[in-house]
Structure 1
Amino acid sequence: MIEPGFADRLTRRFGPQIIDWVQAAPALAERLALEWRLRPNTMFPDGSTSLTVGCTTESGTDAVLKLSPQLDVIAEQDRVLRAFQPGGRVPAVFRSAPEHGAILLERLPGGRVTTPTAAQLAEVLSGLHGAVASPRAVVDKELRDGVEYFLALAEAKLGLDGIAGVVLPEDIARARRLRDRLVTSQTETVLLHGDLHYDNLLDCGPDRGLVAIDPKSSIGEPCFDAIDWVLDGTQPISRKIDDLVALTGFDGERLADWCRVGAPVLAIAAIARGRDPGPLLRFSRS
């Protein structure tokens, strides 16, 4: 049941201190499968922060058992996914044991998306943001802190080959200043997904539509969750902003500014994928 590269992936991600958890995880997965009456059938080979096992429940429903050494992350995902549930844009949570870093999720039938339309994204955002009446009852992390997580990761990579001299310390400093101004002046706040890149969106067909997975939630301005879509490079940024504003009522200038905050982070991701970061950096510096 356990895919051979699992230990290497998690050790690269967390370091050698994770070895004890890695060695214990297969036995924990087997114990939970027995307790929850699951039939494991496959392991997903691409997770860098968790062990994810496809399985079937006692009633014949396809599910995913996810185990992570980050107990706080699993506990938050458990709360957030249950809170988002009424909007229909996240997988169902069947069982959870946050004290073990374990959660059992609906196994979605779709694959990753490539280029969602503005209408598809607007539907996802509406379903997510409209599902939770009291976001601070779910998480206590504000958007400023959620953004800092990504900016700090980006800042730590500025000296790496291919990034040094291309993405500059001033790009991160500028993003922080703009973030602080935007957070101070925001008037509407919702429970955000917080990490809505395309690897976290699944296309589940015409009936279900797009479904979001793996939230890194905070509380803040709704248009923040549109950054990855606006900056995906498939169309001019100004056109994508106009298209989404027409469907959502977002403030176009604030959406553009939030995209400027995220652009240096996405520029580093573009470099890692062999793509030209120039358009993102020129936009962020404009």
Structure 2
Amino acid sequence: KLTPDHSIAESEAAALRAWDGCSRVVQVLATEVADGAILLEGVDPGTQLLEAADVPWAEIGDLLTQIHTVTPPPGFPTLEDRVTFMYGLAERGLRGSVAEATLPIETLDRARLRALALAADGRGNSIVHGDLHPGNVLDGGPGRGAVAIDPRPSVGDPSFDLADWVTLPMREGGTLEDGFDAIAPHLPGFDAERVRAWCVALSPLFVMRPLERGERTPFVEAMLSFCR
């Protein structure tokens, strides 16, 4: 894997090294971070889980458990840093876009403050993947199952990583509680209220691109209701 931003390659490699031996994470074979290069193991068939008909919830629970129980090595940014970066990027994308008419900057700012408060309150000291959506989890085949790739790591509250998963049933007409019911049996210590708070805090980030495309699906409307 070649990454033009060498700092991203370095942080990604550091997280994958920290997770060395975790079966639910792609393994690093070699690195040349000065060139932005990471040699990764092959994952077969390697299809993204967003293409899967059914979410393998037990495997996702195991994945989250594996990555969040590893002790963070020194040198990672905080989850507060990650949230600041994400919302800065979102603000630049929102200003002047067609989405701004429905999602004003003031709404984004309110969500940013919610997310920063969650990130800074001292809950959790895990390596947070930071970009754990279904497109960054691959099918490793019947002998292995779900395998995570492409971390944007930080240290903080592991509940952050659940937002992209528990909201999946909402895309099919379900509820957030359906997502909770799907993952909770497979994730010891699951904190529904904490995960709900992260879903609310991150809700604008789920709808910016759909709004730019003019989409007003039930999922978009539900996420907009979280933004209020």
Cα distance, 1:245 vs structure 2: 3.3
Equivalent residues in 2 for 1:82-121, closer than 5 Å: 82-109=17-44, 110-114=46-50, 115-121=54-60
Kept in 2: contact 1:231–1:263 (CA 8 A): no
Cα distance, 1:281 vs structure 2: 1.1
Equivalent residues in 2 for 1:137-286, closer than 5 Å: 137=74, 139-232=75-168, 233-234=171-172, 235-248=174-187, 249-272=189-212, 275-276=215-216, 277-285=220-228
Amino acid across the alignment from 1:124: L
Cα distance, 1:118 vs structure 2: 3.0
Alpha-carbon distance in 1 for matches of 2:28, 2:132: 19
Structure 1 residues 183 and 164: alpha-carbon distance in aligned structure 2, compared to 1, 3 A threshold: closer
Cα distance, 1:165 vs structure 2: 1.1
Residue 124 (structure 1) aligns with: 63
Amino acid across the alignment from 1:169: I
Kept in 1: contact 2:11–2:76 (CA 8 A): no
Kept in 2: contact 1:241–1:256 (CA 8 A): no
Q: Give the stretch that moved more between structures: 110-119 or 79-88.
A: 110-119
Specify every segment of 5 or more residues in structure 1 that has no aligned partner in the other structure, as ranges. 1-65
Cα distance, 1:209 vs structure 2: 1.1
Percent identity at matched positions? 33
Residue 68 (structure 1) aligns with: 3
**TM-score (norm: length of structure 1):** 0.70
Structure 1 residues 274 and 88: alpha-carbon distance in aligned structure 2, compared to 1, 3 A threshold: farther
Cα distance, 1:146 vs structure 2: 0.5
Q: Could you say what secondary structure the match of 2:87 adopts?
A: helix
Alpha-carbon distance in 1 for matches of 2:214, 2:125: 35
**TM-score (norm: length of structure 2):** 0.87
Structure 1 residues 207 and 96: alpha-carbon distance in aligned structure 2, compared to 1, 3 A threshold: same
Equivalent residues in 2 for 1:21-60, closer than 5 Å: none
Amino acid across the alignment from 1:71: H
Corresponding residue pairs, total: 217
Alpha-carbon distance in 2 for matches of 1:280, 1:271: 11
Q: Give the stretch that moved more between structures: 119-128 or 238-247.
A: 238-247
Q: Which has the higher contact order (CA 8 A, sep 6+)?
A: 2
| Structure of larger gyration radius | 1
More strand by percentage: 1
Could you list the per-position Cα deviations for residues 9-31 of structure 1 after superposition, in whole angstroms to 9, with x for gaps in the alignment?
xxxxxxxxxxxxxxxxxxxxxxx
Cα distance, 1:117 vs structure 2: 3.8
Q: Could you say what secondary structure the match of 2:94 adopts?
A: coil
Cα distance, 1:186 vs structure 2: 3.6
Could you list the per-position Cα deviations for residues 185-220 of structure 1 after superposition, in whole angstroms to 9, with x for gaps in the alignment?
343220011101121110112221111111000011
Could you list the per-position Cα deviations for residues 38-95 of structure 1 after superposition, in whole angstroms to 9, with x for gaps in the alignment?
xxxxxxxxxxxxxxxxxxxxxxxxxxxx222211111111111111122212222111
Q: Could you say what secondary structure the match of 1:163 adopts?
A: helix
